[in-house]
C-alpha cells in the first residue's frame, strides 16, 4: 500500500541524501579522520533508524496483524459456537461474503453507518474549528476555562459519558424532558428520544460530537498558533476582509492538519460502537438503529455466528481503508503543491 | 554519535526490563501450583494451598446469605481451598459466557438461564455430568429443568431453581378504585385500564406496567389464546407469532400497552421496581422475587409493605391461571475449568437439600421435587406455586439463545407499542425466528 513519495510525513528518509549533507558540514576532526568518516558513511547505508523502529513495528505487526489475519481466516470458514469450543471448522470460501452482500438489511445498515459517519465528521470538524477560532480570539483566562472544559469532556470514558447523556434524555426521569416542559417548548412529559431512529441518531450524534470536539479543537488551535502573525497583518493591510483572510490565510495554512483530522474522524465515527450499543439498551428498536460496528458485534458475539461477523468486519476494514486512502492521497498532493 | 549510543542503550535496557518482568511472573505462578495431578486437564490438585474456584451467579435471584452458606459448607470439605463469588447481570450474559467459557481463564461454576443452557450444552462448553447425576439429585430433580440441562442424552446442567411469573399489585389503589383481585384475564386488563384512568393525575402512571421490550410478560397472552412462538414440524422450526391465535394474544398486549401502561414504550423491565416505589404503578408482572426486591431495605421501599400483594395471572375462566413463563436456572461446570473436582463438590452443595430448603423457605421454587411442599414465605411465593402448575417454556432449541441475543421479540413488541401493525410486525418476527432456529 504505497502511501506516496517523500512528501508524506513520517516516511523514512532514504540514505543517499544523508551522506552529502554531512560531508558538506565543516568538521573539527583531523583531516584523516574526516576522510575515513566520509568513506565509511558512503559505503554503509544507514540501517540504524530501521533497527530502532524494528521492535515497535514487530509489536504492531503481531498485535494488529495477527487479529487481522485471524479475522480474514474466520471470514472464509464456517465458524459457530461449536467451533468456538473446539470442533474443527470447515472452509466455505466466499460463502459468508456472498451471504452478507446479498442481504438487503446489510446494505441498509451500511448506508446508515456511512450517513451517520459523514454527519458526525462534518459536525465534529466544523464545530471543532469554530471552538479553535474562539480560543484564538478570547483572552487568556477565558481560553483556560474553555480548555479545561474541553479536557474534562475528552477525559470522560465513552461508556460513562453515554450513560450520563442517556439519563439526560431518559423518557420518564430525564432532565431534558423536564426542562423543555418547564420552559414551555412543549409537553415533553414522557417523550421518548430513542424510539424513532432519527431521534435516536440525533442523541447519538450529540454524544459522539461532544466527545470528538476537544481533540479537534486543541489540534486546530495548535496548528493555527503556528501561523505567523505577519502574514495575517500583511493580508489585512492588503485589504482582505475577515472571511477572505480566514479562507486564504488561516484555512490554507492548516489544511494538512485539517485533512488528517478529517481522516481520523472518519475512521473513528465509522466504527462507533459504545454509544450506539448503550443507547440501544436504553430504548429504540434495535433492528432500525444498528450500525455496522454494533451489527457485527450482535451477529458474532450475540448470535454466535462468528463467520458472518468476521466477514462484516473485513468489509468494514476495507471500506475504512478506502476512505482514508482517498484522504491521504489528497493530503500528499496538498503538500507537494 | 552520543545520541545513537544513548538510544541503543535505552532500547537494550527497555527490552531487558520487559524480559525480566515476564519471566518473574511465570516463575511466580509456577511456584504456587503443586505437582501435576492424575486429572488430565487440571494442573492443580485439590490439595494445593490457595486454590480458588470461581462461582458466577446471575442477577438478584440468589441472596448473599445463601452464597455465604454454600461457601461455608464448601470450606468444611476443603479447608484450604476458597470460592471467589462474582455476581453477574442477566443482560448480556450469553455474550459474556461465550467469551468467558471459551477462554483459558474460565470461571468454574456458572449459572445458565434455562433458555440459554441448550446452546452452550450443544457447543461443548460445559462438563459432562451424566456420571454424577445420581449424586446431584437424580430423580428428585425438577423434570422440566432437567430437560433444559440435558442435550443429546447427556446431562450438563444441574437444576438450580425455578420461578413462574406473577402479578404484584397495590392493594390500596385497588381499594380506592373499588376493584377486587381479577379472576379472569379480561378482568385483569379491565382493572389495569380503570386504574390508569383513575390515577391520570399521577405522571407516568401505569395501571399495568408494561414496557415495550418486556417479552416475558407478553407470552402468557399469546399462549392463553392458543398461539406460540414457534413449533417444530418434522425437523424444521417454524415461527408461529403471525398465526391467528398468536395475533389475537398480541392484540391483548397492544391494548394493555395503549390503555393501561404508562411505561416507556421502548424501555425494558429491569427498573420496574423503581417506578413501583415511586407510586407510579398499579400492577406489574414479574418473577417471584420481585416482591422481595420492591420491599428491599437497600434500594426498595419497605414502607410499602402493607400496601402490596401478589396473585397469579388469571386465565380465561375464573379459577384458572394463564400459562406462566417458567423461568429457572441450571448450574454447570465449565469444560475448561481447571478444578473440576472442587467445582463438582460446590455443585453438590448448591443442589443439595440444605441449600435448596433455604431457597424454598425464601419463596423460590427449589430444584428438588421433595422440597416443593416447603415453599413458604410471602404472598408472592404462594402465587408463584399456583402459577407454576400451568407453566410453559420457549422453544427448546440450541439456537434459541441466538434468537434472544438478536432481540427479535423485544423489537417486535416495541414496534407494536409505537403503533405499528400487529400482523406485519409478527410476520417479520416470524421470518427472523424461523431462519434463526433452523440455523
Q: Residue A319's domain is classified under what CATH number? A: 1.10.3720.10
List pLDDT tens digits, range B402-424: 888 888 999 999 999 988 899 99
Q: Which of B407, B413, B420, B432 to mutate to test the interface with A (most CBs of A within 10 A)?
A: B407
User: Which residues, at least 6 apart from A1, have a Cβ–Cβ distance to it below 8 Å?
Assistant: A321, A325
At B285 the pLDDT is 93
At A143 the pLDDT is 94
Q: Which of B19, B92, B98, B332 to mutate to test the interface with A (most CBs of A within 10 A)?
A: B98
Nearest CA in chain B to A88: B123
Judge contact between B49 and B38, C-beta under 8 A: no
Task: Please judge whether B123 and A171 are an interchain contact, meaning their C-beta atoms are less than 8 angstroms apart.
Answer: no
The reply to whether A117 and A7 lie within a common domain is no
Tell me how close the Cα of B355 comes to any Cα of chain A, in angstroms: 32
Per residue, the 3-state secondary structure of A71-111, as one string, reads HHHHHCEECCHHHHCCCCCEECCCHHHHHHHCCHHHHHHHH
Chain B residues whose C-beta sits inside 8 Å of any chain A C-beta: 4, 7, 11, 15, 91, 94-95, 98-99, 101-102, 119-120, 122-125, 203-204, 262, 264-268, 275, 335, 401-402, 405-407, 410-411, 414-415, 418, 436
- Among the partner residues B120, B267, B402, nearest to A171 by beta-carbon distance: B267
Is A184 contained in some domain? Answer: yes
Name the residue ranges covered by the structural domains of chain B.
Answer: 52-164+327-379, 166-326+396-437
Question: Once rounded to an integer, what is the mean pLDDT over residues B358-363?
Answer: 82
CA distance A281 to A301: 16
Tell me how close the Cα of B212 comes to any Cα of chain A, in angstroms: 9
- Is residue B310 classed as helix, strand or coil in its secondary structure? strand
At A120 the pLDDT is 97
Q: Kindly tell me if the per-residue pLDDT of B5 is higher than 90.
A: no
Which uninterrupted H or E stretch holds B84? strand B82-88
- Among the partner residues B101, B265, B402, nearest to A303 by beta-carbon distance: B402
Is A192 contained in some domain? Answer: yes
Q: Kindly tell me if the per-residue pLDDT of A294 is higher than 50.
A: yes
The reply to whether A151 and A34 lie within a common domain is no
Using alpha carbons only, what angle is made at residue B263 by residues B258 and B269, rounded to the nearest 5 degrees?
Answer: 120
User: How many beta-carbon pairs below 8 A join chains A and B?
Assistant: 86
Using alpha carbons only, what angle is made at residue A165 by residues A162 and A168, rounded to the nearest 5 degrees?
Answer: 150
Q: Kindly tell me if the per-residue pLDDT of B177 is higher than 50.
A: yes
User: Which residues, at least 6 apart from A203, have a Cβ–Cβ distance to it below 8 Å?
Assistant: A165, A166, A169, A193, A194, A279
Tell me how close the Cα of B83 comes to any Cα of chain A, in angstroms: 25
User: Which residues, at least 6 apart from B258, have a Cβ–Cβ distance to it below 8 Å?
Assistant: none
Judge contact between B211 and B204, C-beta under 8 A: no
CB environment A295-321: b (16+ within 10 A), e (fewer): bbbbbbbbbbbbbbbbbbbbbbeebbe
Q: Please state, rounded to an integer, the average pLDDT across all residues of chain A.
A: 84
Which CATH homologous superfamily contains domain B166-326+396-437?
Periplasmic binding protein-like II (3.40.190.10)
In this prediction, residue A168 has a pLDDT band, given cuts at 50, 70 and 90, of very high
| Residue percentage of chain B with pLDDT more than 70 | 90
At A242 the pLDDT is 84
| Dihedral (Cα; B270, B273, B276, B281), 10-degree rounding | 30
List pLDDT tens digits, range B134-171: 888 888 888 778 888 888 889 999 999 888 889 999 99
- Among the partner residues A52, A282, A302, nearest to B95 by beta-carbon distance: A302
Q: What is the largest CA-CA distance in chain B?
A: 96
Task: Please judge whether B125 and A192 are an interchain contact, meaning their C-beta atoms are less than 8 angstroms apart.
Answer: no
Tell me how close the Cα of B414 comes to any Cα of chain A, in angstroms: 6
At A218 the pLDDT is 96
At A63 the pLDDT is 93
Q: Kindly tell me if the per-residue pLDDT of B430 is higher than 70.
A: yes
Q: Kindly tell me if the per-residue pLDDT of A14 is higher than 60.
A: no
Which residues of chain B neighbour A308 with C-beta distances below 8 Å? none
CA distance A257 to A224: 10
Q: Kindly tell me if the per-residue pLDDT of B29 is higher than 70.
A: no
Tell me how close the Cα of A32 comes to any Cα of chain B, in angstroms: 18
The reply to whether A151 and A244 lie within a common domain is yes
Which residues of chain B neighbour A281 with C-beta distances below 8 Å? 91, 268
Which CATH homologous superfamily contains domain B52-164+327-379?
Periplasmic binding protein-like II (3.40.190.10)
The reply to whether A133 and A258 lie within a common domain is yes
Is A166 contained in some domain? Answer: yes
Which residues of chain B neighbour A48 with C-beta distances below 8 Å? 4
Is A50 contained in some domain? Answer: no
The reply to whether A142 and A290 lie within a common domain is yes
Q: How many CA atoms lie within 13 A of A75 on its CB side?
A: 21
**Chain centroid to CA A294:** 17
**Chain centroid to CA A6:** 24
At A43 the pLDDT is 62
CB environment B241-270: b (16+ within 10 A), e (fewer): bbbeebbbbbebbbbbbebbbbbbbbbbbe
Q: Kindly tell me if the per-residue pLDDT of A321 is higher than 50.
A: yes
CB environment B348-385: b (16+ within 10 A), e (fewer): bbbbbeebbebbbebbbbbbbeebeebbebbbbbbbbb
User: Which residues, at least 6 apart from B108, have a Cβ–Cβ distance to it below 8 Å?
Assistant: B53, B54, B55, B333, B334, B337, B338, B339, B342, B343, B346
Q: Residues A113-119: contacts with CB within 8 Å, 24+ apart?
A: A113/A270, A113/A291, A113/A292, A113/A293, A114/A270, A116/A201, A116/A204, A116/A205, A116/A269, A116/A272, A116/A291, A117/A266, A117/A269, A117/A270, A117/A272, A119/A205
Tell me how close the Cα of B336 comes to any Cα of chain A, in angstroms: 9
Task: Please judge whether B119 and A287 are an interchain contact, meaning their C-beta atoms are less than 8 angstroms apart.
Answer: no
Judge contact between B199 and B362, C-beta under 8 A: no
Task: Give the total number of structural domains in chain A.
Answer: 2
Is A89 contained in some domain? Answer: no
- Among the partner residues B15, B101, B266, nearest to A284 by beta-carbon distance: B266
Is A47 contained in some domain? Answer: no
At A335 the pLDDT is 66
Task: Please judge whether B402 and A302 are an interchain contact, meaning their C-beta atoms are less than 8 angstroms apart.
Answer: yes
Is A21 contained in some domain? Answer: yes
More confident residue, B309 or B49: B309
Task: Please judge whether A86 and B410 are an interchain contact, meaning their C-beta atoms are less than 8 angstroms apart.
Answer: no
At B326 the pLDDT is 81
Judge contact between B278 and B226, C-beta under 8 A: no
CA dihedral (A257, A258, A263, A264) positive or negative: positive
CA distance B119 to A43: 66
Whether A303 contacts chain B with CB within 8 A: yes
CA distance B313 to B167: 6
CA distance B229 to B218: 11
Is A181 contained in some domain? Answer: yes
Tell me how close the Cα of A268 comes to any Cα of chain B, in angstroms: 24
Question: Once rounded to an integer, what is the mean pLDDT over residues B23-50?
Answer: 42
At B169 the pLDDT is 94
User: Which residues, at least 6 apart from B74, have a Cβ–Cβ distance to it below 8 Å?
Assistant: B81, B83, B345, B346, B349
- Among the partner residues A48, A84, A287, nearest to B4 by beta-carbon distance: A48
The reply to whether A163 and A15 lie within a common domain is no
Interface ipTM > 0.90: no
Beta B324-333 vs B109-113: how paired, if at all?
A: antiparallel
Which residues of chain A neighbour B436 with C-beta distances below 8 Å? 303
CA distance A199 to A220: 30
Beta strands, E only, B227-267: 230-233, 236-239
In this prediction, residue A261 has a pLDDT band, given cuts at 50, 70 and 90, of very high
Tell me how close the Cα of B294 comes to any Cα of chain A, in angstroms: 19
Beta B166-170 vs B308-311: how paired, if at all?
A: antiparallel
The reply to whether A37 and A125 lie within a common domain is no
Containing domain of residue A232, as a range?
100-336
Amino acid at each position: 500500500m504505497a502511501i506516496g513519495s517523500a512528501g508524506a510525513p513520517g516516511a523514512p528518509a532514504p540514505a543517499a541524501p544523508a551522506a552529502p549533507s554531512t560531508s558538506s558540514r565543516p568538521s573539527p576532526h583531523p583531516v584523516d579522520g574526516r576522510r575515513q568518516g566520509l568513506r565509511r558513511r558512503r559505503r554503509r547505508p544507514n540501517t540504524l533508524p530501521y533497527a530502532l523502529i524494528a521492535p515497535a513495528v514487530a509489536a504492531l505487526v503481531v498485535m494488529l496483524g495477527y487479529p487481522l489475519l485471524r479475522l480474514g481466516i474466520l471470514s472464509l470458514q464456517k465458524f459457530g459456537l461449536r467451533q468456538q469450543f473446539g470442533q474443527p471448522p470447515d472452509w466455505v470460501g466466499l460463502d459468508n461474503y456472498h451471504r452478507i452482500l446479498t442481504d438487503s438489511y446489510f446494505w441498509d445498515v451500511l448506508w446508515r453507518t456511512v450517513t451517520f459517519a459523514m454527519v458526525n465528521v462534518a459536525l465534529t470538524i466544523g464545530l471543532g474549528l469554530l471552538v479553535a477560532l474562539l480560543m484564538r480570539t478570547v483572552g487568556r483566562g477565558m481560553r483556560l476555562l474553555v480548555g479545561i472544559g474541553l479536557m474534562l469532556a475528552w477525559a470522560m470514558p465513552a461508556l460513562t459519558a453515554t450513560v450520563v447523556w442517556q439519563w439526560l434524555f431518559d423518557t420518564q426521569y430525564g432532565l431534558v424532558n423536564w426542562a423543555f416542559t418547564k420552559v414551555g417548548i412543549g409537553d415533553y412529559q414522557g417523550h421518548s428520544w430513542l424510539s424513532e431512529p432519527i431521534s435516536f441518531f440525533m442523541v447519538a450524534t450529540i454524544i459522539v460530537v461532544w466527545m470528538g470536539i476537544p481533540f479537534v479543537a486543541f489540534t486546530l488551535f495548535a496548528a493555527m498558533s503556528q501561523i505567523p502573525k505577519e502574514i495575517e497583518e500583511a493580508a489585512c493591510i492588503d485589504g482582505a476582509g475577515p472571511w477572505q483572510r480566514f479562507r486564504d490565510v488561516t484555512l490554507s495554512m492548516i489544511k494538512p492538519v485539517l485533512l488528517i483530522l478529517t481522516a481520523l474522524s472518519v475512521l473513528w465515527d465509522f466504527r462507533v460502537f459504545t454509544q450506539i450499543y448503550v443507547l440501544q439498551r436504553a430504548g429504540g428498536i434495535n433492528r432500525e438503529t444498528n450500525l455496522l460496528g454494533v451489527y457485527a458485534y450482535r451477529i458474532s458475539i450475540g448470535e454466535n455466528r462468528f463467520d458472518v461477523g468476521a466477514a462484516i468486519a473485513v468489509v468494514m476494514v476495507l471500506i475504512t481503508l478506502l476512505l482514508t486512502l482517498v484522504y491521504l492521497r489528497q493530503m500528499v498532493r496538498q503538500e507537494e503543491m | 554519535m552520543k545520541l545513537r549510543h544513548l538510544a541503543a542503550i535505552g532500547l537494550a535496557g527497555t527490552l531487558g526490563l520487559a524480559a525480566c518482568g515476564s519471566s518473574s511472573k511465570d516463575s511466580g505462578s509456577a511456584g504456587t501450583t503443586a505437582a501435576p495431578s492424575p486429572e488430565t486437564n487440571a494442573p492443580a490438585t485439590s490439595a494445593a494451598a490457595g486454590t480458588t474456584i470461581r462461582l458466577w451467579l446471575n442477577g438478584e435471584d440468589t441472596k448473599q446469605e445463601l452464597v455465604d452458606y454454600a461457601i461455608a459448607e464448601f470450606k468444611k470439605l476443603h479447608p484450604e481451598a476458597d470460592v471467589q463469588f462474582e455476581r453477574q447481570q442477566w443482560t448480556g450474559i450469553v455474550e459474556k459466557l461465550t467469551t468467558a467459557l471459551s477462554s483459558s481463564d474460565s470461571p468454574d461454576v456458572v449459572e445458565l438461564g434455562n433458555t440459554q443452557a441448550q446452546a452452550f450444552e450443544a457447543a461443548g462448553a460445559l462438563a459432562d455430568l451424566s456420571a454424577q447425576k445420581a449424586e446431584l439429585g437424580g430423580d428428585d430433580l425438577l423434570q422440566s429443568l432437567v430437560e433444559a440441562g440435558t442435550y443429546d442424552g447427556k446431562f450438563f446442567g444441574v437444576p438450580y431453581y425455578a420461578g413462574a411469573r406473577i402479578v404484584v399489585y397495590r392493594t390500596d389503589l385497588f381499594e380506592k378504585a373499588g376493584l377486587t383481585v381479577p379472576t379472569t384475564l379480561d378482568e385483569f386488563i379491565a382493572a389495569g385500564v380503570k386504574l390508569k384512568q383513575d390515577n391520570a393525575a399521577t405522571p407516568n402512571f401505569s395501571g399495568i406496567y408494561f414496557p415495550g421490550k418486556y417479552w416475558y410478560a407478553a407470552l402468557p397472552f399469546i399462549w392463553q389464546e392458543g398461539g406460540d412462538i414457534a413449533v417444530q414440524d418434522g425437523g424444521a422450526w417454524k415461527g408461529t407469532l403471525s398465526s391467528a391465535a398468536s395475533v389475537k394474544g398480541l392484540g391483548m398486549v397492544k391494548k394493555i400497552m395503549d390503555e393501561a401502561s404508562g411505561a416507556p414504550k421502548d424501555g425494558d423491565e429491569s427498573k420496574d421496581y423503581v417506578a413501583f416505589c415511586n407510586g407510579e404503578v398499579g400492577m406489574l408482572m414479574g418473577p417471584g422475587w420481585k416482591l422481595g426486591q420492591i420491599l428491599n431495605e437497600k434500594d426498595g421501599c419497605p414502607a410499602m409493605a402493607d400496601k402490596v400483594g401478589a396473585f397469579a395471572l388469571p386465565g380465561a375462566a375464573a379459577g384458572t391461571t394463564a400459562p406462566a413463563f417458567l423461568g429457572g436456572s441450571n448450574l454447570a461446570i465449565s469444560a475448561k475449568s481447571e478444578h473440576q473436582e472442587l467445582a463438582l463438590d460446590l455443585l453438590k452443595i448448591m443442589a443439595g437439600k440444605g441449600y435448596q430448603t433455604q431457597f424454598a423457605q425464601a419463596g423460590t421454587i427449589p430444584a428438588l421435587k421433595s422440597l416443593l411442599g416447603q415453599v413458604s414465605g410471602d404472598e408472592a411465593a404462594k402465587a408463584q406455586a399456583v402459577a407454576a402448575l400451568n407453566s410453559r417454556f420457549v422453544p427448546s432449541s440450541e439456537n434459541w439463545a441466538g434468537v434472544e441475543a438478536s432481540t427479535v421479540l423485544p423489537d417486535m413488541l416495541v414496534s407494536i407499542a409505537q403503533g405499528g401493525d400487529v400482523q406485519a410486525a409478527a410476520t417479520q418476527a416470524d421470518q427472523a425466528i424461523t431462519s434463526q432456529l433452523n440455523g
